[in-house]
Amino acid sequence: MNIENIISLAISKAVERLYGAAAAGNQVLLQPTKKEFEGDLTVVTFAFAKVSGNVPEQVGQALGTALLQDCPVVGAFNVVKGFLNLSLKQSYWVSLLNEITSQEQYGIQQPAENAPLMMVEYSSPNTNKPLHLGHIRNNLLGYSIAEIQKANGWRVVKTNIVNDRGIHICKSMLAWQLFGQGETPATSGQKGDHLVGKYYVIFDREYKKQVAQLMAGGQSEEDAKKNAPLIQQAQQMLLAWEKGDTAIINLWKTMNQWVYDGFDITYRALGVDFDKIYYESDTYLTGKEEVERGLTTGIFYRRADGSVWADLTGDGLDEKLLLRSDGTSVYMTQDIGTAKLRYNDFPIDKMVYVVGNEQNYHFQILAVLLDKLGYAWGKNLVHFSYGMVELPEGKMKSREGTVVDADDLLEEMITTAREASQELGKLDECTPQEAESITRMVGLSALKYFILKVDPRKNMTFNPKESIDFNGNTGPFIQYTHARIKSILRRVTAQNLTITPVKTDIDISIKERYLIRLLTQYPAVVGEAGKNFSPALIANYAYELAKEYNQFYHDYPILREENSDLKNFRLALSENVSRVIRSAMGLLGIDVPDKM
């Protein structure tokens, strides 16, 4: 039984003994005591004023006195208006620290073999351009959500669906045919995804020129966009691809492989991975088959022009196109096909799609369609809808080549971390190899933490300069705190000291009690982050823990403490703070160095 339950039960018994009335469960309101007041837990006494016939302050005094007598973990109390602040005995907090020390995977539930299976889809790139800042937020959120759910006892499969077909792919292919002169990643020295993305931008540039020329010749903008030779050629290429034209298919495979090779480099640098990758070129035909099945069973209907639709007005939604009149598929069809293939591959209990909030309505429809088609997890799928990420300068545009390239940003972050670390002297005691490893960790931490600390459902602005700060709410600050503790622990080893279980009769400070209280909250934070799909809860908890530890470090001696029992306690406390920081940051996909 946790401490909140122990105190709640003791309060219920005290109310019944003092006032002859049973306290309902919802009347016992407990909350952590605010930092400006003395105490660990606060009881709201207003709820008992009526049953007692006394004012809240009198109720607080009576309950506090009763708890001192009857509840062995309560050591003191004070009353502030209608709030009873309880201070737990120091021996209780020390025993909790010893309990935390004894747990090898504190705060983490290891999934059982028969645990329910959650599939998390993230990344979902197109093969006509490299990954950019928006993809970074998607990948970081998806990876972290998967790790957090594993820590909550789920078995997790991480998947990626690659959009490798469609008119946008043909635009890059056509531009390369017309303007590429046989250029390859090997001959150009460019990563394959960058090279293909270059031709996507070239297509858009040349297409706009053609549209402008047609408009100058008297055509409307709408007609000019339809009649421009480039777009018509791209559409013909798409039709040739769908008919299996050998030359087009071979070009498509070649250029897509360039992109996949480039993606793999970026994924490794970012520290994310996948258990299974699906490709829309493999799933769209399965989706069409599922739509035909739904048509046969009466779930969908065909209009006079031959197009296939789902009438979802009875579900509070609109009618949804599933197959065009020419038989070609839409995105929804492809998602249905991907869902079926996944369901065949894995015994999914819950499906989580990490996709931006501009697709909210799409996933409302998908959930209903999958449920109608008989997929058990369909109606309860989770669309993890996150906000967009922008730069201080504003939005990014892929076609115009104004996106922030993921690879460039990663290198910029590492370079900035190197410069900041050198300026502050944080690499002075490191070998060149250690310095390079640490600067990479710090740069990636700055990027990942800055993005993940924000409520994922909110739009955000990423500011690289603000993300690398060794004194603020940043990844590098938390990393430095961990490295500081590891430095202390190395000196413990050098002095042949051993950290042993802490004696429960030592006298500890309010700040030390608060640090233990923060440590005890870690399992609940992990649970809440899993329930709400929110890496931000983990990130901000890690910062709070690091911030409080640094204040403790400046106020209290550790290795210089003369009382051996108190020194042992502070070392045990420090060691557990470093363990929890490493664990929490790991759930965010962030490494913490032992030296900085």
CATH of 3-88, one of 2.40.50.140, 3.30.70.100, 3.40.640.10, 3.30.1360.70: 3.30.1360.70
For CATH 1.10.730.10, the residue range(s) in the chain are 426-587
**Minimum mean pLDDT range among 77-81, 196-200, 349-353, 404-408:** 404-408
Q: Binning pLDDT at 50, 70 and 90, where does residue 253 land?
A: very high
Q: Does residue 126 sit in helix, strand or coil?
A: strand
**Mean pLDDT value across residues 310-328:** 92
**Minimum mean pLDDT range among 32-41, 113-122, 257-266, 497-506:** 32-41
CA 445, 446, 450, 451 torsion-angle sign? negative
For CATH 3.30.1360.70, the residue range(s) in the chain are 3-88
- pLDDT value, residue 24: 62
CA atoms within 13 A on the CB side of 184: 8
**Cβ(259)–Cβ(192) under 8 Å?**
yes
Amino acid at 563: N
- pLDDT value, residue 204: 95
- pLDDT value, residue 395: 47
**Mean pLDDT value across residues 295-310:** 95
Residue 166 has pLDDT above 80, yes or no: yes
CA atoms within 13 A on the CB side of 395: 7
Measured from the Cβ of residue 112, the count of other Cβ atoms closer than 10 Å reads 9
pLDDT in tens, 431-462: 888 888 889 999 999 999 999 999 998 898 88
Higher pLDDT: 44 or 467? It is 44
How does DSSP assign 39-97, residue by residue? -SEEEE-GGGHHHHTS-HHHHHHHHHHHHHHH-TTEEEEEEETTEEEEEE-HHHHHHHH
Give domain 426-587's CATH superfamily: Isoleucyl-tRNA Synthetase; Domain 1 (1.10.730.10)
**Minimum mean pLDDT range among 135-144, 228-237, 324-333:** 324-333
- Percent of the chain predicted with pLDDT > 90: 76
Q: Binning pLDDT at 50, 70 and 90, where does residue 47 land?
A: confident
User: Between vectors from CA 479 to CA 565 and to CA 136, what angle results, nearest 5°?
Assistant: 150
Q: Binning pLDDT at 50, 70 and 90, where does residue 26 land?
A: low
Higher pLDDT: 395 or 344? It is 344
**Residue in the block written with tokens 């360039």:** 258
Name 161's bridge partners: 278
Higher pLDDT: 187 or 468? It is 187
pLDDT in tens, 455-494: 998 898 887 777 877 788 999 999 999 999 999 999 999 9
Give me 142's structure tokens: 């998806």
- pLDDT value, residue 574: 98
Pairing type for strands 308-311 and 41-44 reads: unpaired
- pLDDT value, residue 359: 93
Measured from the Cβ of residue 26, the count of other Cβ atoms closer than 10 Å reads 7
> Is the pTM above the cut of 0.85?
yes
